[in-house]
């Protein structure tokens, strides 16, 4: 099945994702993979891990700003869907056809919020964390006190596998949409263009 139904008059092909959000997405992918790998497998001195963490912090800062002032489809206000809309979408998610949703669908929006929230908690705990090795100390550790810095480090280590799990779920969802629903979610995040329903409310 093709994802380019030119003959379907209920659809239109639009420039959905702006260049800034596409660049943010792929930069975040690379930085998260690098930071997670360095955190799990070393080296013992986490200088590079910290650098990638700083990059993630900057990217998240941009996303928070862009979520308020960016194009409509990337604003957080566009992510919010009522319970009825979300449940209706979820009840039809197994249908073997593309959703042609204009932006993040209700389930995808929840996943995006979860991933952003977890990443914010991860970088915050990393910045404040103190592993008690006198080397890999977060730049804000001295500002929060030893006990809080130790707790932040524990949180940072606890969230790492949860972050990996969310990333795996994210990849699995993309594969599910591609294989089962015949909807390619990767190409639009590369080119910006996507087939969507003409109606604004989908």
Q: Is there a cis peptide before residue 43, judged by omega within 30 degrees of 0?
A: yes
Q: Is residue 1 part of a domain?
A: no
Q: Is residue 96 part of a domain?
A: yes
Q: Is residue 2 part of a domain?
A: no
Q: Is residue 4 part of a domain?
A: no
pLDDT at residue 135, rounded to an integer? 86
Per DSSP, the residues of 149-202 read HHHHHHHHHHHHHHHHHHHHHHHHHHHHHHHTS---SHHHHHH-EEEEESSTT-
pLDDT at residue 1, rounded to an integer? 43
Q: Is residue 188 part of a domain?
A: yes
pLDDT at residue 6, rounded to an integer? 58
Per-residue pLDDT of the chain (202 residues; tens, 9 = 90+): 445 565 677 889 999 999 999 999 999 999 999 999 999 898 888 899 999 999 999 999 999 999 999 999 999 999 989 899 999 999 999 999 999 999 999 999 999 999 999 999 999 999 999 998 888 899 999 999 999 999 999 999 999 999 999 999 999 999 999 999 999 999 999 999 999 998 654 5
Strands 193-197 and 11-15: what pairing?
A: antiparallel
Q: What CATH number is given to the structural domain containing 135? A: 1.20.950.20
pLDDT at residue 4, rounded to an integer? 55
User: CB of 53 within 8 A of CB of 123?
Assistant: yes
- Nearest alpha-carbon partner for 122 in 87, 170, 154, 77: 154
Residue 135 corresponds to which tokens in the numbers above?
A: 């080397």
Domain around 42: 11-197
Q: Is residue 6 part of a domain?
A: no
What does the angle CA 151 – CA 27 – CA 60 come to, to the nearest 5 degrees?
45
Q: Is residue 192 part of a domain?
A: yes
Q: Give the chain's domain count.
A: 1
pLDDT at residue 29, rounded to an integer? 96
pLDDT at residue 22, rounded to an integer? 97
pLDDT at residue 43, rounded to an integer? 85
């Amino acid at each position: 099945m093709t994802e380019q139904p030119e003959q379907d008059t209920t659809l239109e092909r639009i420039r959905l994702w702006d260049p800034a959000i596409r660049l943010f997405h792929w930069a975040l992918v690379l930085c998260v993979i690098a930071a997670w790998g360095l955190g799990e497998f070393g080296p013992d001195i986490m200088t590079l891990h910290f650098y990638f963490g700083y990059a993630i912090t900057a990217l998240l800062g941009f996303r928070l700003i862009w979520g308020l002032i960016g194009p409509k489809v990337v604003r957080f206000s566009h992510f919010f869907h009522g319970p009825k809309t979300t449940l209706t979408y979820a009840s039809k998610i197994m249908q073997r056809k593309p959703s042609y949703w204009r932006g993040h669908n209700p389930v995808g929006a929840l996943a995006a919020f979860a991933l952003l929230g977890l990443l914010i908690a991860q970088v915050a705990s990393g910045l404040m964390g103190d592993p008690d090795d006198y080397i890999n100390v977060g730049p804000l550790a001295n500002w929060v006190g030893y006990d809080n810095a130790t707790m932040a480090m524990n949180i940072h280590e606890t969230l790492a596998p949860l972050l990996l799990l969310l990333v795996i779920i994210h990849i699995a969802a993309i594969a599910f949409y591609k294989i089962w629903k015949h909807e390619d979610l990767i190409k639009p995040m590369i080119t910006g263009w996507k087939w969507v329903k003409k109606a604004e409310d989908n």
